[in-house]
Amino acid sequence: MIRYIIKRCLQMIPTVGGVILITFVLFNMVGGSPASMTLGKHVSPKALEEFDEQRGFNKPLLFGWWAKTRAMENLRFDRALGPWRNVPGTAHAGASGRDPGRLILEGNNLYSVPLAFPLLPETRYELAIVYRLAAGGDAEFLTRATTKIDDAEMVERRRIPIPCSPQWTTLRLPVPAGSGSMSLMFKVKDKPLEIRSLSLRRRGTHPLDSQLVFYLRQIARLDFGVSSSMNQPVSRLLRQGILPSLALTIPILLVELIVSIGLALVCAFYRNAFIDRFFVVLSVALMSINYLVWIVAGQYLLAYRLHWFPLWGFESWRFLVLPVAIGVVSGLGANVRFYRTIMLDEMYRDYVRTAFAKGVSRSGVLFRHVLKNAMIPIITNVVIALPFLYTGSLLLESFFGIPGLGYLSVNALNSADIDVVRAVVLIGSILFVAANLVADICYALVDPRVKLE
């Protein structure tokens, strides 16, 4: 068995890797900007950049040297100047025919590039421009790094000439890494410098300094980031929420399993009799009532009106009795019908008729033969539910104030707390993969026909 477990664990590695890759795609590629979703669109670009810096979202997606920076958004001057409208001496020419809209920097002037916040020190950038400069024009790109040493201020300037080009040309202008604040400027003489678009990129430390590598390193360290709404490590929040969730979900699973199997055996024992039909009708009725109705009715009648149970909180076992009872009742109907179908399917097999022919009692056939042979689908149904023990019950925990992972997940969804949501989804998915290994082992334990090879 140990050899089989090791073999299955090795076979699960590609599956777990696929789960990690899918969560990366969903949260880093598909959902848009996590910083804007969490902080909102009206916060400062610097706050968004700090959010991305802390979580690695400001790096290249998979690999590469260059990544976007919020210090300056990609600018196209098709219709307006954007942040350049506050720079004195600039003009705008709207698109007409084949001539696109453009920013015009008149001659004999010095223009500072408007940045949302100062560039990071010791970091290299690159400014890409699509420009046009008539023959005889004179333009330069200037960088000025200001460093304070004690009470003295040291300024380092660099100039890059911009060659004349009567046609639209793309030019990449390097911005050296300075130890202090950096300013970017254009100096224009004689002929005007026309610019169609501008984009600023930040250079990484190496090509593999990407969002994917950052994410994989986090997982390897079991570091799931920091909750933006609670300002606490996500791993700590998960540890705090796991015990309340398990205290709720494990009793629901065990009680529901025992009661539903017992009622299914009763239905099989008295099949087509009144008690069988009664439980079938009752199961359909329980399935027809919405889960939320059970919660609201239980809270109002049993907790608020009759005061039989506490209404809110998680202080002792008494606070769990009502949510556990609601969880059991709400899922009982579907389980009874499922297990009843399994038991009746086994009741019509040849070995059951043989057992009856040998004089075995009906109860002996049910408990010694039918139940044992029905364990494979029962185990499958239980194993599918095991990963959800970890994630908790979203509605029950939210309505009864149980500080478990379900309550944590609901709050994270409402506040767009991307790190918490991603951690819960990732761990739940990995547990679901691991549950398949548990199911195979249980199959071999309950059915001698199943061999672990």
Whether residue 287 sits in one domain with residue 183:
no
Pairing of strands 138-149, 152-162: antiparallel
What CATH number does the domain containing 162 carry? Answer: 2.60.120.260
Digit-coded pLDDT (tens) for 260-272 = 988 888 887 788 8
Distance of CA 435 to the CA centre of its chain: 21
Whether residue 276 sits in one domain with residue 194:
no
Q: Are the CB atoms for 67 and 202 separated by under 8 Å?
A: yes
For position 173, what pLDDT does the model report? 92
Digit-coded pLDDT (tens) for 319-356 = 889 999 988 888 888 888 888 888 888 777 778 778 87
Whether residue 403 sits in one domain with residue 307:
yes
Q: What is the mean pLDDT of residues 120-130?
A: 89
Confidence bin at 169 (pLDDT 50/70/90): very high
For position 340, what pLDDT does the model report? 87
For position 406, what pLDDT does the model report? 85
For position 198, what pLDDT does the model report? 93
Higher pLDDT, 146 or 227: 227
For position 80, what pLDDT does the model report? 84
For position 350, what pLDDT does the model report? 79
For position 303, what pLDDT does the model report? 85
Q: What is the mean pLDDT of residues 63-74?
A: 89
Domain-located, residue 39: no
Q: Are the CB atoms for 367 and 250 separated by under 8 Å?
A: no
Whether residue 239 sits in one domain with residue 193:
no
Domain-located, residue 218: no
For position 304, what pLDDT does the model report? 84
Digit-coded pLDDT (tens) for 176-207 = 887 677 889 999 988 899 999 999 999 988 88
One-letter amino acid at 57 equals F
Confidence bin at 448 (pLDDT 50/70/90): low
Whether residue 308 sits in one domain with residue 163:
no
Q: What is the mean pLDDT of residues 116-122?
A: 85
Whether residue 304 sits in one domain with residue 197:
no
Whether residue 246 sits in one domain with residue 118:
no
User: Residue 240 pLDDT > 80, yes or no?
Assistant: yes
Whether residue 344 sits in one domain with residue 401:
yes
Digit-coded pLDDT (tens) for 419-440 = 888 888 888 888 888 887 787 7
Domain-located, residue 57: no
What CATH number does the domain containing 354 carry? Answer: 1.10.3720.10
Domain C-terminal end among 156, 181, 203: 203
For position 428, what pLDDT does the model report? 83
Domain-located, residue 98: yes
Domain-located, residue 23: no
Digit-coded pLDDT (tens) for 78-118 = 888 888 988 888 888 877 767 788 899 987 889 999 998 88
Domain-located, residue 62: no
User: Residue 254 pLDDT > 80, yes or no?
Assistant: yes
Residue 268: which of 357, 370, 382, 372 has the closest Cα? 370
Please give the Cα distance from 77 to 190 (Å, whole number): 22
Domain-located, residue 4: no
Higher pLDDT, 95 or 243: 243
Please give the Cα distance from 418 to 228 (Å, whole number): 8
One-letter amino acid at 217 equals R
Please give the Cα distance from 116 to 82 (Å, whole number): 12
Percent of the chain having pLDDT more than 90?
Answer: 10
For position 157, what pLDDT does the model report? 83
Identify the weakest region by mean pLDDT among 146-150, 244-248, 375-379: 146-150
Q: What is the mean pLDDT of residues 38-55?
A: 84
**Over the Cα atoms of the chain, what is R_g?**
33
Task: Give the residue numbers spanning the domain of 433.
Answer: 234-446
User: Residue 388 pLDDT > 80, yes or no?
Assistant: no
Q: Are the CB atoms for 192 and 109 separated by under 8 Å?
A: no
Please give the Cα distance from 126 to 128 (Å, whole number): 6
For position 153, what pLDDT does the model report? 65
Domain-located, residue 100: yes
Whether residue 256 sits in one domain with residue 163:
no
Whether residue 386 sits in one domain with residue 287:
yes
Whether residue 161 sits in one domain with residue 241:
no
For position 128, what pLDDT does the model report? 94
Q: What's the domain count of the chain?
A: 2
Whether residue 348 sits in one domain with residue 282:
yes
Please give the Cα distance from 177 to 119 (Å, whole number): 9
